[in-house]
Chains A and B, each alone.
Chain A
Amino acid sequence: MQTAHSSIELEQEKVIEEFSQFTDWSDKYEYLIDLGKALPALDEKYKTEFHLVKGCQSKVWLHAFVKENKLYLVADSDTVITKGIIALLIRVLNGQDILDIEKADLTFIEAIGLKSHLSPTRSNGLISMIQHIKSYARNLSITSQPEIASDPASQQALMIRQIKEVYDPEIPVDIWELGLIYTLGIDEHGKVQITMTLTSPACPVAGSLPLEVQEKLMQLPFVTDVELTLVWNPAWSKDRMSDEAKMALDMF
């Protein structure tokens, strides 16, 4: 057995205990819906594209911030059942140590019989929300040292690391190595200026790449805003790929 339970685990156990009282599905959902309704409304200023977590059936907005190595969350959704689950997630994760959040195994959702709400076919934004919280926590654990958070070179490196997680759908090389990013900079207020292009103006699938880049950058705690400009001039060509990318593509 483990020696010390983190408070995340203790809180999960409490939730499971609470839900074990319900024998009827409707009591359980009524409770969940009450939790959803009681969740304080998110400040309108956070209900923007930047805070929107991708979901197709319902929308989830998430704003997370850190104080003294603890993560704090506020979130909202347009559906009340999703809000109920968000309320539970916040209850379990809010104010917890970022290192614990990064490692947390959120088993309570399955234990209380709500796992189906995390299935991809629901596409309600909850899975993405959890992913966002975790990658946010991961980034925070790296950047929580004040010297990194304010050092331009470290910030640049972290931004590039985030961008390198984005892929053009048909190409097995990340968009940084592909050379799609033309300029990248950040000012002292945390506002990022980025210009990028796409491999071809006719590629409709790649149309979501700019949004993905914005989302990835917004996950960095020191980023407050992202101004992304899509340019076609100069047009992208194979010469812009890094040597690594060229090699990777030759091998495929």
Chain B
Amino acid sequence: MTTLSSGSSLLITDVTNIRKDFPILSRTIHDKPLVYLDNAASSQKPVQVLDSMDHYYRHTHANVHRGVHTLSQEATELFEASRRRIADFIGAPNEAEVIFTRGATESINLVAYTFGLSQLMEGDEIMLSEMEHHSNIVPWQIVCAMKKANIKVIPILDDGTLDMEWFERNLNAKTKLVAVTHVSNALGTINPVEEIIRLAHQQGIPVMLDGAQATPHMSINVKKLDVDFYAFSSHKMYGPTGMGVLYGKSSWLNLLPPWQGGGEMIAEVKWSGTTYNKLPFKYEAGTPDIAGAIGLAAACEYINQFDRDGMLQYEQALLTACTKAMESIPGVRTVGTAPHKASVYSFIIDGLHPYDIGTLLDQQGIAVRTGHHCTQPLMERFCIPGTVRASFAIYNTMEEIEKLVQATRKAIQILT
């Protein structure tokens, strides 16, 4: 194992302590210790997040923004303080630009419906990329069908990077929005989003980034990025499920129409017409997921206690070690070899089906994802039915990578 622990010894000692924060990691699967390598699908939750939500429900719960009574005020303060903390976490200049949603999917739908229905005309174009998650494809297909607008797809090169030349060449006066993923969930590619935003803005085109796979790993600053919309999910970054965020520049969010109607999002309701609440409430119809917001804020705080560069380096060390060790197994082929990758390792094995490998890894206590990862067009691009994907979080260890390697060898031996 010494061969694997490259340049990350400083943090490895801490990982034992970090792991203690995650109760689920002491579980066994098929009588073997759980090796959880499916973090890109959803990460596990530290006690700090669990406790924050538990404490809220036990001591502070009431509906928010509605009552003069003390509990409602306390709940509202906690909820809004969570919004501030999350705004800080992504460098949003104004917390009113942080809209709570159900997850990245709902955030993207919010943009698709409000922006798409109000800004698109027949023949207009939305630019997506070939590596998008279905949740950044289907909402645009629905809206473009309604508006008779077209989707243009930025192709990717064999290493899993975007064809930036194509992108630059094909931006044009008909392009109304560029909506691409910050980090690919299937390949791990970190896209050159600064460059994408610069090129699009040069032509006055707004940009939406799908940050679902970026926020768990990298520190994000939406102001520095100058991005117009940024969507992400809480559950992939140590927070609870059912919670997500859409950051949007207030200049856009004020301009766009409301989406869902209901309580909270109104200023005044009359039969003759209704006026809408100010941001962020305009986009938060109904009682929000209060505990979810509190849990996500706790997750942001949890991440913030680490030196962010150190965290990134540690995860990169896991990725590098994993790639090297897995590629030494005969027949293993890495899918996605971009120079800049988040800690996502996708692979296939010559002649073997991902489903069979995933099943035999599971028997050995190792949780990986197999299949198309909700990126069917991308799998088609590579002419493969799917991949096996190991994705790492801060609590994974070099020892677990060694287990993955051994277990993969065993799976191959059983299958061939």
Question: Which residues of A pack against B, CB within 8 Å?
Answer: 25-26, 29-30, 33, 56-58, 78-82, 117, 124, 202, 204
Contact = CB atoms under 8 A, between A and B. Distances in A.
Contact of A57 (B138, B360, B386): B386
B371 interface: yes
Given A33-B414, A33-B415, A81 B359 contact: yes
B35 to A, nearest CB: 16
Contacts of B360: 29, 81
Interface stretch (B139-147, B194-202, B267-275): B139-147
B224 interface: no
A195 B145 CA distance: 24
Contact of B145 (A29, A80, A124, A204): A204
A33 B415 CA distance: 7
A57 B372 CA distance: 8
Interface string B373-413: 00000000000011000000000000000000000001000
23 contacts: A25-B363, A26-B363, A29-B359, A29-B363, A29-B414, A33-B356, A33-B414, A33-B415, A57-B371, A57-B386, A58-B353, A78-B385, A79-B353, A79-B356, A81-B359, A81-B360, A124-B355, A202-B142, A202-B146, A204-B138, A204-B141, A204-B142, A204-B145
Nearest to B358: A57
B371 A80 contact: no
> Which 7 A-B pairs have CB atoms at the shortest separation, nearest pair first?
A79-B353, A79-B355, A58-B355, A25-B363, A57-B355, A81-B356, A202-B145
Contacts of A78: 353, 385
Contacts of A117: 359
Interface residues of B, number: 21
Main secondary structure of the interface of B (DSSP, over half): helix
Given A57-B355, A57-B371, A78-B353, A30 B145 contact: no
B30 interface: yes
Contacts, number: 44
B233 interface: no
Nearest to A124: B355
Nearest to A36: B356
Contacts of B415: 33, 80
Interface string B261-286: 00000000000000000000000000
B414 A26 contact: yes
Nearest to A58: B355
Taking each of B138, B355, B356, which has the highest tally of chain A beta carbons within 10 Å of its own beta carbon? B355
A204 B141 CA distance: 9
Contacts of B371: 56-57
Contacts of B370: 57
B146 A81 contact: no
Nearest to A56: B371
A202 to B, nearest CB: 5
A236 B386 CA distance: 38
B364 to A, nearest CB: 8
A82 B355 contact: yes
Contacts of B353: 58, 78-80
Contacts of A79: 353, 355-356
Contact of B414 (A30, A58, A124): A30
A54 B359 CA distance: 19
A26 B353 CA distance: 18
B355 A81 contact: yes
Nearest to B146: A202
Contacts of A33: 356, 414-415
Contacts of B30: 25
Contacts of B410: 26
A124 B138 CA distance: 24
Nearest to A29: B414
Interface in B322-364: 353-356, 359-360, 363
B109 to A, nearest CB: 14
Given A56-B371, A80-B353, A80-B356, 17 more contacts: A25-B30, A26-B410, A26-B414, A29-B360, A57-B355, A57-B370, A57-B371, A58-B353, A58-B355, A78-B353, A80-B415, A81-B356, A124-B355, A204-B138, A204-B141, A204-B142, A204-B145
In this complex, the member of B142, B146, B410, B414 whose beta carbon has the largest number of chain A beta carbons within 10 angstroms is: B414
Contacts of B385: 78
A139 to B, nearest CB: 30
Contacts of A81: 355-356, 359-360
A25 B372 CA distance: 27
Interface string B114-142: 00000000000000000000000010011
Nearest to A26: B414
Nearest to A55: B355
Interface in B132-171: 138, 141-142, 145-146
A29 B138 CA distance: 38
A26 B372 CA distance: 26
B288 to A, nearest CB: 27
Nearest to B370: A57
A79 to B, nearest CB: 4
A157 to B, nearest CB: 37
A29 B411 CA distance: 10
Nearest to B362: A116
A56 B145 CA distance: 26
Interface in B3-53: 30
Contacts of B372: 56
